[in-house]
Chains A and B, each alone.
Chain A
Amino acid sequence: MISSTPTARPVAAPRPRPVAWTRLAWVTQRQRRGAIIGTSIVFGLFAVYLLVMAIIQNNAYAAVQACHPAAALKCQSLANTFYRDYWGSGAGRVIQGGGAQTVSSLMFALPVLLGAFVGAPLLAREYETGTFRFAWTQGAGRGRWAVSTLVLPAAALTAAAGAFTALFYWYFRPFLADNQVSEMLPLAFALLGVAFAAWTLFAFALSAFFGTLFRRTLPAIAVTLVVYIALAIGTATAIRPHYMTPVTVSGWNGGVAPVWVISSYAKSPTGQILGQGDMNSIVSHLPASVQNSQNPNAFNDWLTQHGYTLWQTVQPDSRFWPFQLIEGGWLLAVSAVLIGATVWMVRRRGA
């Protein structure tokens, strides 16, 4: 940024040494004390709940695993009770209407709520109260002030979210360990690995950007929510399945390893891919013995016997970390661009 060519304009004094980052860091933490306390309370309360439930849940799951032989009726019953109680379909005895399913749903809201709560007011409040006229005319300069104001909360929030993911993973482990849930499924993927912290950082950067663009906190939060939700859903449904070419496997069950099924289809004996209409037609002409069978695989077995082949495209669980790094990487890049654009706006824009 500093031009090395001599300027024509005579400069009165040599360029002063800039204010130290440690001093700016003090300013940032003092200004953001409210956000620090608020975030700590939200993370803290949630963390205490997860910690307590994780201990109870992991103990209960250890009992399920210790039961031998696994196929025995009492072991099956123990396992069923575990899922009913802790996965939670509303009938659980331990948590009424709660359980891991509900907790993981709530977890999806956490990045955008915390990110917007911390990020949107950073510059918007300065505009709303007029204090930017104070902050930007101090010796430190507005550029350094903006970098400190944005980067420190971004780092702190991302680190807190990362630590929180570790706790959540421990809590959620029994369901992943038993292949009950593929780590690749949209309902789990964004809550695990580096994705949760990356989405939190993205929400923060997005809301700080809109807060600076609009110079108002509430519109910034509202637009952040809309954009974030659209992108989160769009990523899970349209972008993430294409990080790597899906693996095509034959058969409805796709083997034993847990997978994320992207699409499934059947081929006729002549090799044609069957559409939904073809499938409906086959189902309506099935013999009664298959239609009324108690065996859940009866239909599949019948199709196989009659020369139909069943195909699925899947993303296997072995791709969990490559996918995490891809998603974390692009979210980090987008967040960095948003923060850079925000600093640029602070530096360039007039009051």
Chain B
Amino acid sequence: MDVIETSALGKRYRGKWALKDCTLSIPGGHIVALVGPNGAGKTTMLSMAVGLTRPTEGTVTVVGGAPAGSPQALMRIAFVAQDAPLYRNLPVADMLHLARNLNRRWDQGRALDRLETLEIPLSQRVGDLSGGQKAQLALTIALARRPGLLVLDEPLASLDPVAREDFLAAVVAAAEQDGVSVVLSSHVLAELERVATYLVVLTRGQVRLAGTVRELLASHGAGLEEIALRYLRAGVSSVSRTEGAA
């Protein structure tokens, strides 16, 4: 079962293509690192996958063929946007209750256990939590929905090094315990290198490389970072060539 499948997917903002002709099948059961420089189209692709943004052209389906944004898709995908937006004025307990009321599937016991382990008090206002705690709360809410696919957009960008480690460990643990597929985006591959089992490299709105880490390492005979860098560079030069020809 593919967790994200795109076909000739494209998105244009004010005449500029943020993502163009993107065809991709990401199989389930992986921790997927979606890597590319800032402005490569990572957020655009994820936004379309979770149904926030409509494609300009092409299609995207998720968790086994459900059109992105459809009720089936919404029920089975949990998304944490960049900077983990949550209602800052609510206490943690009310934030949980709000999320519970917005979803049919909800594991309250699991959410409470996680928060207890993380020592996040239920009475605390979300706005008063530290960056790391806020990211963990967003992850807790996402996991309480018991999703088939967890999508995290730049989850580590605003976290300090300790919080990054903790967050990644929590994601890996969830992937192992629940069998949830995970897609994380980052502009720094090094952050995700240790946990990723599948790599997608995106530059200038185009997919340059996609495959399981194991296969990539075997076929390229180089370190993951070196492979990614090669494709990031290739993406840049191929685009400049196209632009030169146009």
Contact = CB atoms under 8 A, between A and B. Distances in A.
Contacts of A137: 50-52, 74, 77-79, 81
A283 B75 CA distance: 81
B136 interface: no
A134 B153 CA distance: 12
A105 B88 CA distance: 38
A130 B85 contact: yes
A129 B88 contact: yes
Interface stretch (A13-21, A85-93, A175-183, A297-305): A13-21
Contacts of A134: 81, 85-87, 138
Contact of A139 (B64, B90, B104): B104
Among A26, A34, A133: residue with most chain B CB under 10 A: A133
A18 B105 CA distance: 11
B72 A16 contact: yes
Interface in B18-66: 47, 50-54, 61, 63-66
Interface stretch (B92-100, B179-187, B197-205, B215-223): B92-100
B117 interface: no
Contacts of B138: 134
A66 to B, nearest CB: 55
Given A11-B72, A13-B72, A350 B102 contact: no
A129 B85 contact: yes
Contacts of A97: none
Interface in A34-49: 34
A11 B72 CA distance: 8
A11 B94 CA distance: 34
Contact of A12 (B66, B104, B105, B145): B66
A24 B97 CA distance: 11
A27 B52 contact: no
Contact of A133 (B75, B77, B81, B105): B81
Interface in A123-160: 129-131, 133-141, 145
B102 A133 contact: no
A11 B77 CA distance: 15
A139 B103 contact: yes
Nearest to B64: A12
A351 interface: yes
Contacts of A34: 89
A9 interface: yes
Interface of A: 9-19, 23-24, 26-27, 30-31, 34, 129-131, 133-141, 145, 348, 350-351
Given A13-B72, A350-B53, 13 more contacts: A11-B65, A12-B63, A12-B64, A12-B65, A16-B71, A24-B102, A130-B83, A131-B86, A133-B79, A133-B81, A137-B79, A139-B102, A145-B102
